[in-house]
Amino acid sequence: MTYHLNVDLETYSSVPINKAGLYKYVQSPDFEILLFGYSLDGAPPVVLDLASGDKIPGDLLRALNDPNVIKHAYNAAFEWYCLSYHTKQYLITGDPFTTLHQWHDTMLHALYCGYPASLDAAGKALGLPEDKRKLTTGKALIKLFCTPHTPTDRDPRTRIRPQDEPEKWELFKTYNTGDVTAEQEIERRLSPFPVPDDVQRQWETDLRINSRGVGLDLDLIHGALDCDDTVSRPLIDEAQKLTGLQNPNSMAQVKGWLQEHGYDVSTLRKDDVTTLLEGTTLMYYST
């Protein structure tokens, strides 16, 4: 028998996910799962307050590894990797991808059906009632609890914790519950139009590629860098002697030097340089 588990996490990391990406974000030493909202087979959502000491119960851990339990999340790559890393799944099995095929991405489902990517926008497009859409305060709460706090003279804290803002923390838990409910409802409404198996496999392949990265021949790379240095270093040294520039590789410096010596140049694209070389005899000398 197949069961369904809807999951939504709220997390903290000092690494900005929009700049560094999911994997560096999760691998940061201070990464932490703050709230773990879930619903098993349509039951009312439960929120585990891991930041305040709650533990993931054994039956939920077993469900996360049970092939008979399909895990659903909005942008499931995030929940899959966070939980794999948090529970050290890769240490237990030796393969972080053991449970990947058990995860279904509701955002992928929405996109496949022609709906917007964001949870809030997809909920609105599907006509979810107000109580089943993300709370408007959600972004402010995420910024408050999930990202570093910039210290000031009056407030030297580098991070806001649940005990610092207990009322807002309770609201954050409500927000987490709402995310689970919204994701659940979107999945229910889209269920008559399932994601095809080949699209699901493409999603899994994409995650495998992004997680593993691209294999590189480091010996070849280091050799190429050495070759470049061997060829370019003497040329740079000669250019420095001829022009007196600190960095002849700098287009701004070279352009300025040319302008100082009477050459009307605004850019140094390939065509511009060709025109200069064809129409002008350049007299190089050191300043």
Q: How far apart are CA 23 and CA 11, in angstroms?
A: 13
> What is the predicted pLDDT for the residue at 213?
80
For each successive 10 residues of the chain (287 residues), what is the average pLDDT? Answer: 95 96 94 96 95 94 92 96 80 66 96 94 88 70 95 92 96 94 94 96 93 88 93 89 86 85 79 75 47
pTM confidence score: 0.75
Query: Could you name the CATH architecture of 3-212?
Result: 2-Layer Sandwich (3.30)
In 3D space, the residue among 189, 173, 191 whose CA is nearest the CA of residue 45 turns out to be 173
HEC states along the chain?
CCEEEEEEEEEECCCCHHHHCHHHHHHCCCCEEEEEEEEECCCCCEEEEHHHCCCCCHHHHHHHCCCCEEEEECCHHHHHHHHHHHCCHHHHHCCCCCCHHHEEEHHHHHHHCCCCCCHHHHHHHCCCCHHHCCCCCHHHHHHHHHCCCCCCCCCCCCCCCHHHCHHHHHHHHHHHHHHHHHHHHHHHHHCCCCCCHHHHHHHHHHHHHHHHCCCCCHHHHHHHHHHHHHHHHHHHHHHHHHHCCCCCCCHHHHHHHHHHCCCCCCCCCHHHHHHHHHHCCCCCCCC
> What is the predicted pLDDT for the residue at 89?
57
Residues of the chain with CATH 3.30.420.10: 3-212
State the Cα angle at 34 between 28 and 37, rounded to 5°: 125
Name the residue type at position 62.
R
> What is the predicted pLDDT for the residue at 131?
62
